[in-house]
Amino acid sequence: MTLELRGLRLDLDRPRLMGVLNLTPDSFSDGGRFLDPDAALARAQELKAEGADLLDLGAESTRPGATPVPEEEERKRLLPVLEAVLPLGLPVSVDTRKPGVAEAALALGAHLVNDTSGLADPKMATVAARFRAPLVVMHTPHPDPRRMMAAARYLDVVAEVRAFLLLRARRAERLGVPQVLIDPGIGFGKTTQQNLALLRGLPALARLGYPLLVGASRKRTIGELTGVENPGSRVCGSVGAHLAAALRGARILRVHDVAAHREALAVFWAVEGDGPDRP
Ligand code: HH2
């Protein structure tokens, strides 16, 4: 399976690492650290040196309860850093719920749209289609982070997330998106038990045939399972979750701590991988 990224290509026969770069004052684990464009570029260089296969730039926190950012402010945070980061040569994803922001980022040369609203606005798909960019469709029970925990009621979380992703992925394809990726949205309106059920249930999502992205990095569930309160110190727990995800078919892991994941994946893939990708 290959991901076509507007001229760049990423082979997904083995798990790949998407390095997180949050250009926000309020992200749950690294808010405020990379607001300054120079600090953001330095962080992007670090993520590349650690072995990131692609970068995910976000300028609006989506943690449960986060306050939405006006579009103008999101553009102001995102676009200068995107411009500075593109020459690094890595594929760059833009993490946004706003079609206008995605459009401006794609016009500058971003390679992938990461829509954490789960295609709440079909315009996101028409924008991605126009730029021939792939689109990540992520599950959330409500596109507004202030309301998603209250919306978290499932009878069968795996079946419901699977049905949602299939519906939205098909809609994106009908609207002309060249390649769709799916993501269960770990922590988006889900309890720890529901997140664990989703991680166990990943094979059912992988069987839909779309490349599967998973992001559990430093999330509350990792804190609850490990007892580590500081999100920045949840590295080992995050690696544990992502190896479990890779074993069940995840092909892109969205992570803050790239170096640790790179090492863990090297060993993981030496054991689990097969064929020409065996390192
Ligand atoms: N999680 C976050 C943000 N974007 N995108 C995808 N596709 N999947 C995810 O699981 C996902 C995501 C939340 O993490 P983070 O960016 O660290 O925090 P914040 O939203 O507070 O900026």
Q: Could you give the angle at the alpha carbon of 70 between the alpha carbons of 45 and 189, nearest 5°?
A: 80
The count of structural domains within the chain is 1
The mean per-residue pLDDT over the stretch 212-231 comes to 98
Query: Rounded to an integer, what distance in angstroms lies between the CA atom of residue 139 and that of residue 186?
Result: 8
What would the pLDDT profile of 21-31 be if each residue is shown by its tens digit?
999 988 888 88
Query: Rounded to an integer, what distance in angstroms lies between the CA atom of residue 159 and that of residue 198?
Result: 9
- Mean residue pLDDT of the chain comes to 95
Q: How far is CA 175 from CA 5, 130, 180, 248, 260, in A?
A: 18, 10, 11, 29, 38
In this prediction, residue 190 has a pLDDT band, given cuts at 50, 70 and 90, of very high
* Domain membership flag for residue 86: yes
* Domain membership flag for residue 146: yes
* Domain membership flag for residue 278: no
pLDDT score of 278: 46
Ligand 1 centroid – CA 39 distance (Å): 20
What would the pLDDT profile of 171-188 be if each residue is shown by its tens digit?
999 999 999 999 999 999
* Residue 27 alpha carbon, nearest atom of ligand 1: 21
What would the pLDDT profile of 31-79 be if each residue is shown by its tens digit?
888 888 899 999 999 999 999 999 999 999 988 788 899 999 999 999 9
Query: Contact, 126 vs 88, CB < 8 A?
Result: no
Query: Contact, 168 vs 209, CB < 8 A?
Result: no
* Domain membership flag for residue 277: no
The mean per-residue pLDDT over the stretch 223-237 comes to 98
* Domain membership flag for residue 165: yes
pLDDT score of 279: 43
Query: Rounded to an integer, what distance in angstroms lies between the CA atom of residue 40 and that of residue 205?
Result: 33
pLDDT score of 45: 98
pLDDT at 137 over 90: yes
The parent domain of residue 246 ranges over: 2-272
CATH code, domain carrying 254? 3.20.20.20
In this prediction, residue 151 has a pLDDT band, given cuts at 50, 70 and 90, of confident
pLDDT at 268 over 80: yes
* Domain membership flag for residue 128: yes
From 16, 17, 18, 20, the mutation candidate for ligand 1 (largest count of ligand atoms within 8 A of CB) is: 20
The mean per-residue pLDDT over the stretch 9-31 comes to 92
* Domain membership flag for residue 15: yes
Query: Contact, 23 vs 77, CB < 8 A?
Result: yes
In this prediction, residue 140 has a pLDDT band, given cuts at 50, 70 and 90, of very high
CB of 195 sitting under 6 A from ligand 1: no
Query: Contact, 23 vs 58, CB < 8 A?
Result: yes
- Alpha-helical runs (H) found in the chain: 37-50, 71-85, 99-108, 123-130, 157-174, 192-200, 202-206, 220-226, 235-247, 258-272
Instruction: Enter the tokens of residue 130.
Output: 């126009």
Say which residue the tokens 């399972």 belong to: 225
* Domain membership flag for residue 101: yes
Q: Active site residue: 75, 219, 220, 234, which one?
A: 219
